[in-house]
């Protein structure tokens, strides 16, 4: 029973997602993102643009209206004139609407960059036929997430409706006097009221978007949580399988040993135990401050070093205490420690004398 409980708790997703898990989720397009943020920023920037450039937009449409009656109505009706008229009207309207479309584009990009940064995932563009499954669609419709989204939509509509109603209610007296105003004053009042309602709605939507983003962030963090076992598995995966790691280390040791064996022919002397240890030493008076160990080994490797030394006519000297001391205290490529200088120097002097070579001696 205790074992089952431990298995249950080990599989429970209680741990925060690791950076690797977050990167994988991001590659799949799973990020904390609220659509309300895009809507709120777009609405706010659009009404802000209308507040600043609304007059030029109205003037532009009035110019199209005047030109239509003062010029276009006087044209002869023909296929050519109709095409020209249509092209001209489309071009004029496009030039007026283009700034608003640009604001919408900038708002959409800005909203995404603020939430998730730059991200473009080609896998999300692919057609997923599983989403066309009616059963899956029904499950999504009656899921907890769909219920939450429905409640959010109702809350959003209610909240914005209340804000807009408050704005209109404050101007109720002006509404009662609307019939007494000139057409221009009435138009100006209605336009101003629309801007006030739009900005108030956008501001309230910003508040809702911030709350929704916090909820989406919380939901996303909960969704990508990991169990302790998943974290262990991820760590093993990132570090590599122990068997593979063992094989890799074995290959590295083999490569290092092969490199070491290739250095043995450069040795001046090989000091042995005589059977258990072998240490190959090289010394060049002109380039080295002290002799260095270029190869060493135990048992089979020691035997291999001695065989190569015999093949290349390198002197092999048996000195059990010195061989053990060198093997234990000096790494491959390391220099002889000071306390062993005299012992190694005597052996090198003997080897040089036997070979008839004249090298500088250690002092």
- What is the tens place of the pLDDT at every residue in 267-316? 888 888 877 888 888 888 778 888 888 888 888 888 888 888 888 888 88
Q: How many other CB atoms sit within 10 Å of the CB of residue 175?
A: 13
Q: State how far Cα 38 lies from the chain centre.
A: 23
Q: Flag whether pLDDT at 145 surpasses 80.
A: no
At residue 26, φ and ψ (nearest 5 deg) are: -65, -40
> Among 90-104, 111-125, 182-196, where is mean pLDDT lowest?
111-125
pLDDT for 4:
44
Report how far residue 27's alpha carbon sits from residue 271's, in angstroms, rounded to the nearest whole number: 59
pLDDT for 363:
42
* Cα 283 to Cα 61, 163, 246, 273, 287, distances in angstroms: 95, 91, 36, 21, 9
Angle at 207 between CA 17 and CA 38, to 5 degrees: 70
Residue ranges of the domains in the chain?
30-118+128-225, 262-355
The predicted model scores a pTM of 0.51
Q: Flag whether pLDDT at 7 surpasses 60.
A: no
Q: Flag whether pLDDT at 360 surpasses 50.
A: no
At residue 288, φ and ψ (nearest 5 deg) are: -120, 145
Tokens describing residue 197? 């309602």
Q: How many other CB atoms sit within 10 Å of the CB of residue 245?
A: 12
- What is the tens place of the pLDDT at every residue in 42-82? 888 888 888 888 788 888 888 888 888 888 888 888 888 88
Q: What is the dihedral of CA 122, 127, 128, 132, to 10 degrees?
A: 150
* CATH domain 262-355 topology: name from scop (3.40.1690)
pLDDT for 3:
45
pLDDT for 283:
83
> Among 88-97, 108-117, 123-132, 339-348, where is mean pLDDT lowest?
123-132
Which of these, 61, 121, 46, lies nearest to 96 by C-alpha position?
61
pLDDT for 80:
86
């Amino acid at each position: 029973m205790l074992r089952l409980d431990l298995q249950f708790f080990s599989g429970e997703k209680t741990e925060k997602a690791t950076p690797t898990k977050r990167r994988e989720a991001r590659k799949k397009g799973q990020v904390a993102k609220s659509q309300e943020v895009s809507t709120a920023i777009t609405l706010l920037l659009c009404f802000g643009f209308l507040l600043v450039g609304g007059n030029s937009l109205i003037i532009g449409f009035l110019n199209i209206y005047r030109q239509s009656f003062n010029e276009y109505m006087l044209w002869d009706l023909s296929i050519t004139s109709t095409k020209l008229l249509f092209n001209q009207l489309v071009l004029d309207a496009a030039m007026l609407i283009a700034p608003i479309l640009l604001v919408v584009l900038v708002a959409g990009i800005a909203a995404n960059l603020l939430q998730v940064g730059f991200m473009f995932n080609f896998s999300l563009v692919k057609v997923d036929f599983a989403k066309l499954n009616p059963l899956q669609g029904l499950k999504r419709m009656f899921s907890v997430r769909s219920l939450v989204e429905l409640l959010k939509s109702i809350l959003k509509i209610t909240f914005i409706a209340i804000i807009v109603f408050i704005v209109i209610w404050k101007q109720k007296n002006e509404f009662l006097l609307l019939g007494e105003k000139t057409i221009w004053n009435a138009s100006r009042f209605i336009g101003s009221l629309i801007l006030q309602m739009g900005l108030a709605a956008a501001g309230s939507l910003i508040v809702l978007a911030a709350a929704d983003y916090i909820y989406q962030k919380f939901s996303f963090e909960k969704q990508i949580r990991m169990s302790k076992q998943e974290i262990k598995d991820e760590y093993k995966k990132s570090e590599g399988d122990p068997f593979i790691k063992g094989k890799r280390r074995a290959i590295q040791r083999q490569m290092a040993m092969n490199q070491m064996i290739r250095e043995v022919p450069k040795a001046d002397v090989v000091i042995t135990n005589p059977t258990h240890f072998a240490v190959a030493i090289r010394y060049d008076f002109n380039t080295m401050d002290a002799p260095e160990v270029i190869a060493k080994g135990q048992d089979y490797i020691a035997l291999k070093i001695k065989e190569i030394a015999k093949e290349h006519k390198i002197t092999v000297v048996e000195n059990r205490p010195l061989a053990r001391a060198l093997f234990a205290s000096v790494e491959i490529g390391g220099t002889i420690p000071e306390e062993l200088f005299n012992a190694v120097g005597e052996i090198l002097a003997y080897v040089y004398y036997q070979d008839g070579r004249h090298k500088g001696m250690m002092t």
